[in-house]
Structure 1
Amino acid sequence: MENLKEVTPMQVFNVQGMTCGHCVKAVTRAVQEQDAAAKVEVDLAARQVRVQSELAQERILTAIRDEGYQVEAA
């Protein structure tokens, strides 16, 4: 019997106001301060952030908002 690890789903968020590498770092840091193991992928062109984490969606939204960005679940 194969030992399968449960995969945490990727959550996707639309984030307004991200324009540069500093924004990418700020958003990534905000999420990872809540969950150090979170995998964060930022697409500046699409203004999207993808997060793989055990965190509740609302906690991720709040963390990004607290950095000064407008964010909503995609």
Structure 2
Amino acid sequence: MHEFKLPDMSCGHCLAAVTEALKSADGHADVQVSLEQKTVKVQSGLPRDQLAAVLTEAGYPPAG
């Protein structure tokens, strides 16, 4: 399970965009988003750096 802090995520639209981007990269990914904590947890066969690239391309670059 990979966890990313997404400081630019602030609303339901952001949540949907993050989820959709990750699911399009890996249709079998388990995606858990927390708007309150501004985090996303992803269970995926893709490597962490590839998931980070997907999030960045969607407009939500991970912090740290």
Global fold match (TM > 0.5): yes
Q: Deviations over 1:3-57 (max 9, x none)?
A: xxxxxxx110001111111101100111111100000000011111000010100
Which one has a bigger Cα radius of gyration? 1
Identity of aligned residues (%): 36
Indicate the structure with greater helix content: 2
- Counterpart CA distance in 2 for 1:34 and 1:72 is 20
Equivalent of residue 20 in structure 1, options 11, 25, 36: 11
Q: Give 1:70's match in structure 2, choosing from 47, 50, 61.
A: 61
Which ranges of 4 or more aligned residues in structure 1 deviate by more than 2 Å? none
TM-score by length of 2: 0.92
How many residues are matched?
64
More strand by percentage: 1
Stretches of structure 2 that go unaligned for 5 or more consecutive residues are: none
**CA distance, structure 1, for counterparts of residue 32 and residue 11 of structure 2:** 14
